[in-house]
Chains A and B, each alone.
Chain A
Amino acid sequence: MGTTLNNEIQNAFQKVTMASYAINQSGKPDEELINEALDKIITAKKVLLDKTLVIEQLNQTLDLLTWIETPMEGQAIAQIHGIIVLCRQISKKLQDDIEFIKKSPKFEYCDAAIEAFENEVDEFEEAVEDVNEIFFDVPNDLEFIALAKKI
């Protein structure tokens, strides 16, 4: 075996030994730390899914509301107005939530859940405006009333 080849083998042996030592020294990945991080992700996802479900149900409630005959008067229309005001407050709160979620590292690995949440919020906002239009704008819109008579 030539001197050069011997040196190369020695060199490789030294490197492998050092690498082996370094790997052993670094120890096992901290399972506790990983589990803790995974728990946080799961909790964050659950928070989002729970909220999404609540908004989904709220959207169904608003959809059903639109089947009530219009025009309405008195207490009934005042209650519809109250519902719209409350929904707009909820909508504002949900927008704050979205802003917070997008900035928070806690929600870093929840892309699909964030998207579902944002979509449902978007549907909710549109539903609120539709309810407002159906109960407060359309009944006063002469052109719409004329069209409604045709159907």
Chain B
Amino acid sequence: MNFFITDSAYQELLKIEKVPSHSDLRMELYKFLSKKRTIDEFKAGKRVLEGPGQNPFIKVRVGGSGKFRMHYLLFIKDNKLYISHLHPKRGRKERENLNTPERKIALREAIAASEGFTCYEVILNSEKQTCDFKLFTKSKNVL
């Protein structure tokens, strides 16, 4: 499976990881993404925000009861996973649940990314146990 992140979600990630309590955000994302191998593993027990059809839009919680707890919105299509929103549930950037208009925007951006609009590919760096990001478009892959 390939992983992608929408431009807005990527910009948000950059802001969040600047906060000291979330400086290990990429590492935690790596742990989460590298643990799952199949679509079903991503879908198991997760919450669907739109119809549970073949291409679900889901919310997942990453991190336990300690300092680290993040919510991600993920869209899965054609064996590709698109991260279209993330927010911490603890710490300085903590926020409440997304409202309906915000969810619509996140879903719209995820669909756009799946259709070839600019997004970033999430590359799992197993050597450093972290995530790297590479600008990605459907037509050409830009470094």
Contacts and interface: CB of A to CB of B under 8 A. Distances in A.
Interface of A: 52, 60, 62-64, 66-70, 112, 115-116, 119-120, 122-123, 126-127, 129-130, 133-134, 137-138, 141, 143-144, 147-148, 150-151
Contacts of B108: 147
Contact of B52 (A68, A115, A116, A150): A68
Most buried by B among A62, A68, A119, A122: A119
B30 interface: no
Most buried by A among B43, B47, B49: B47
Contacts, number: 68
B59 A130 contact: yes
A120 B61 CA distance: 11
B104 A143 contact: yes
Interface residues of B, number: 28
B111 A116 contact: no
A119 B69 contact: yes
Given A66-B47, A134-B48, A147-B107, A119 B89 contact: yes
B132 interface: no
B57 interface: yes
Given A68-B52, A119-B89, A63 B46 contact: yes
Contacts of A112: 65
Contacts of A62: 47
A65 B52 CA distance: 11
Nearest to A150: B111
A80 to B, nearest CB: 14
